[in-house]
Structure 1
Amino acid sequence: MDFISDEKIIHSMSSTNEPIAEVKPGETFVVKTRGPGIPDEVFEKDYSDGQYPQRILSITGPIYIQDAEPGDVLEIAINDIEFDEEGKMWMGQWMGILMDEVQKPYLRKVKVKDGKAFFSEEITFPVRPMIGTLGVAPSEGEIACLYPGVHGGNMDVPSVAPGNKLYLPVQVKGALLATGDVHAGMGDGEVFGTGIEIGSKVTMTVNVIKGKKLRHPMVETPNSYEIIVSNEDLVEATKEATREMISFLQERLKLTFEEAYALTGQVANLKFGQVVNPIYTISIEVSKSLLEGQQ
């Protein structure tokens, strides 16, 4: 099994990034991702002047996927995540849903061991492994790894996790897959501004699907399908996600728009990925049981 180190990283996703590795469809490999490189002194400063630190994500990649062409769909099976021993969670006046109410920056280092996150000696909780940032190069220009979109990117969706598959629309030759920002824990919405950001080793398998159209990222779990939509306007993201689920049910169940809309209103679950990025991410989920026998 190939091992792709984090020796070379990127801060934006672009077709001009030089691949650090190449894999074949059907191949399983391991990617090392970095933990947050934020020095402790960042949280000891006074930011009353409004000169906040710059936010940057360091992501491993890109990885060239053989046979991936624009118009294809990239299937990424997330097999396993192995954590480093310590993660970090932090916020300040520059991040988090309540950043305007924050008086001073906050940093907490969190030990991760035996499937638990040690918030303190008294408070522990089960880890919630997930990948915060997983995406491909956009068709034009570059997109900072901090932002989500049709290309995937910094979606911070909890279901992008071991045991599940992420589907992304390929936009450039080779897809140029990149990943990082792994979390040992994060509540839906990521209201604090970060999860427990931690270095990791991610085992994944990729495949290329020909002849299938995909407008937005999609997660497949053992029990559900989840469409992911990002937008600067949370209401617009909700509307677009609803439209996508209606189209999905129309196609799979051969329904009219009105029927699919009514069904979406009864069986689909709208979920928050993150609401702390300048571009919000939500998802809408439907059970596979609804579609059984309707392939």
Structure 2
Amino acid sequence: MYRLKRDSVIYEMSKNNEPVLYINPGDKIIVETEDCFGHKITSEDQRLGEDFDFSKVNPATGPIYIRNAKPGDSVVIEIKRIELDTHGVVELYPGFGLLGDNIYESRTKVLRIESNHAIFDTMQLDLKPMIGVIGVAPLQGAVPCGIPGAHGGNLDTVEITVGSVVKLPVFVDGALLALGDVHALMGQGEICGTGVETRALIEIEVTLDANYHINEPIVETSEAIYFLSSNENLDLAIKNATKYAVSHISEKRKLSFEEAYMLSSIVCDLQISQVVNPLKTVKMKVPKSVL
């Protein structure tokens, strides 16, 4: 099994990044990830300020070159394990998040992570580890790791967790997979701009599907398939995620688009992944029971 240390990171996803590991489809990898602030905030006396380099947020370990991955394929990443560090941080910063205009100075809260809980003051909160950043190189340009898109990136989707499968479209040879920004716990929407940000160790298995072309990321759990879409315009993201889901139901159930649309309206759930990144991410949940 391969192992990538957290000192091999990128801050933007691009086809110009040099791979730090070459793997074959079917290989398993242990990936050490850095927290979103590069471990520069470890106590409540430290906080974000004007001296912080915001171009260095959300470092992603990689990129990983997947042999035989070609544009039009899908990379399939099964998440086997997430092991968390012993603490995580939650950060407030003026202008961050939905209510950032009500925040006038930055603040850091450090939470211990122990016995399957994150400790918030006297509250023991059940851990729900998830991967915030997972993506491949886009076709053109470089996308900072703090931004989501068709390539994946900063999706901040709580279903990207142990036991789930993430499917990403391939835009360049080798795909150039990278991941990071693990949260010990995060609510849907990530409304203040952070979850419980922590270092982690992730075990994944990577395969390819050359016969399954997708436009944007898909996350599959034991119970449902989530069709994701990210866009600066939230309404357009909602429309795209809905169209992906309806089209999938139409194909799988051999229904007309109109019938699949009606079925989707009564069994599928439109949900928000995050609304605090430069592009908003939504998801349409399709229960496997209807497929």
TM-score band by shorter chain is: over 0.9
Q: How does 1:217-232 map to 2 (within 5 A)?
A: 217-232=217-232
Query: Deviation at 1:213?
Result: 1.2
Tell me, yes or no, if the aligned pair for 1:74 and 1:167 is still in contact at 8 Å: yes
Q: Which amino acid aligns with 2:97?
A: G
Q: How does 1:6-85 map to 2 (within 5 A)?
A: 6-35=6-35, 36-37=37-38, 38-39=40-41, 43=47, 54=54, 56-85=57-86
Structure-2 separation of matches of 1:199 and 1:178 = 15
Residue matched to 2:97: 96
Query: Deviation at 1:52?
Result: 8.4
Query: Deviation at 1:43?
Result: 2.9
Query: Deviation at 1:245?
Result: 1.1
Q: Which amino acid aligns with 1:73?
A: S
- Seen in structure 2, the aligned counterparts of structure 1 residues 6 and 271 have a Cα distance that, compared at 3 Å, is same
Tell me, yes or no, if the aligned pair for 2:94 and 2:104 is still in contact at 8 Å: yes
Query: Deviation at 1:235?
Result: 1.1
**Matched position secondary structure for 1:284:** strand
Q: How does 1:1-295 map to 2 (within 5 A)?
A: 1-35=1-35, 36-37=37-38, 38-39=40-41, 43=47, 54=54, 56-120=57-121, 122-291=122-291
Query: Deviation at 1:80?
Result: 0.5
Deviates more, 1:174-183 or 1:106-115: 106-115
Structure-1 separation of matches of 2:108 and 2:275 = 20
Structure-2 separation of matches of 1:93 and 1:231 = 23
Tell me, yes or no, if the aligned pair for 2:246 and 2:260 is still in contact at 8 Å: yes
Tell me, yes or no, if the aligned pair for 1:52 and 1:94 is still in contact at 8 Å: no
1:88-136 residue CA offsets vs partner (Å, 9 max, x unmatched): 110211311100111221111111112110112x111111110000000
Tell me, yes or no, if the aligned pair for 1:14 and 1:143 is still in contact at 8 Å: yes
Q: Which amino acid aligns with 1:79?
A: K
1:163-191 residue CA offsets vs partner (Å, 9 max, x unmatched): 01000011111110000000000000000
Structure-1 separation of matches of 2:139 and 2:46 = 35
Query: Deviation at 1:218?
Result: 0.4
Structure-1 separation of matches of 2:140 and 2:208 = 21
Query: Could you list the runs of 5+ residues in structure 2 that have no partner in the other structure?
Result: none
Identity %: 38
Structure-2 separation of matches of 1:222 and 1:54 = 37
1:237-260 residue CA offsets vs partner (Å, 9 max, x unmatched): 111111111111111111112111
Q: Which amino acid aligns with 2:58?
A: L
**Matched position secondary structure for 1:176:** strand
**Matched position secondary structure for 2:54:** coil
Tell me, yes or no, if the aligned pair for 2:60 and 2:181 is still in contact at 8 Å: yes
Deviates more, 1:211-220 or 1:34-43: 34-43
**Matched position secondary structure for 2:175:** coil
Structure-1 separation of matches of 2:102 and 2:7 = 38
Q: Which amino acid aligns with 2:80?
A: N
Deviates more, 1:246-255 or 1:183-192: 246-255
Q: Which amino acid aligns with 2:244?
A: E
1:236-293 residue CA offsets vs partner (Å, 9 max, x unmatched): 11111111111111111111121111111111111111011120001001111111xx
Structure-2 separation of matches of 1:158 and 1:79 = 15
1:6-45 residue CA offsets vs partner (Å, 9 max, x unmatched): 1221100000000011111111110000123344666386
Tell me, yes or no, if the aligned pair for 2:46 and 2:108 is still in contact at 8 Å: no
Structure-2 separation of matches of 1:33 and 1:63 = 14
RMSD over aligned Cα, in angstroms?
A: 1.6
